[in-house]
Amino acid sequence: MGSIVGGIDFAAPSCEVAPQLIGALILVDGVGGRIVETEAYDHTDPASHAYGGPTRRNASMFGAPGHAYIYRSYGIHWCLNFVCREEGHGAGVLIRALEPLAGLESMRARRGLDRARLLCGGPGRLCQALGLGIEHNGLALDAAPFALSAPRSPAVIAVGPRIGIAK
């Protein structure tokens, strides 16, 4: 597997990859949607899981670019990150929200609700809607069950402060 997946070069710094992912389509076993919110992290960032160096929990974040790093937040919600930079660096992009486009019935069943707007609005919600868990940690984004395609056109992007970060 190379570092380029769906036309996006994951060997680049996460702060460059994050805006490129806006508008990209991510599917997991045919269920998914358009990425509408991301957050970039690097090992130099105190809020990053990579900040203290590699551990058993965050090892995938130090793996090859273009792979999934999935972890549990607050012991409750799974969160999906795309690993960036060269192996050993420790960087990634948190996928914060999707616009649901495919497999909405599966998403609704997994989330136990009907409103499309609430299906994938937030990292924990989108992982639940896509059926993602620790078993997907470390998997390549260019192989099943994942399918990632670049945006069709450049997205209009707004940049703001990170959510829920005090560090």
Confidence of residue 1 (pLDDT cuts 50, 70, 90): low
What integer is the mean pLDDT of 11-19? 96
Q: Considering the chain, what is the average pLDDT of its residues?
A: 92
Q: What is the pLDDT of residue 4?
A: 82
Q: Where are the domains of the chain?
A: 4-145
Span of 39-53, 65-79, 87-101, 108-122 with lowest mean pLDDT? 39-53
For 4-145, CATH number out of 3.30.429.10, 3.40.50.300, 3.40.640.10, 3.10.300.10 equals 3.10.300.10
What 3 state SS string does 33-102 have?
EEEEEEEEEECCCCCCCCCCCCCCCCHHHHCCCCEEEEEEECCCEEEEEEEECCCCCCEEEEEEEEEEEE
Q: What is the pLDDT of residue 157?
A: 64
Summarize pLDDT for 19-43 with one digit per residue, the tens: 999 999 999 999 999 999 999 999 9
Q: Which residues contact 158 (CB under 8 A, 6 or more apart)?
A: none
Q: What is the pLDDT of residue 45?
A: 87
Residues of the chain above pLDDT 90, percent: 78
CB atoms within 10 A of CB 126: 29
Q: Is the pLDDT of residue 163 over 80?
A: no
Q: What is the pLDDT of residue 159?
A: 65
Does the global pTM surpass 0.85? yes
Confidence of residue 48 (pLDDT cuts 50, 70, 90): confident
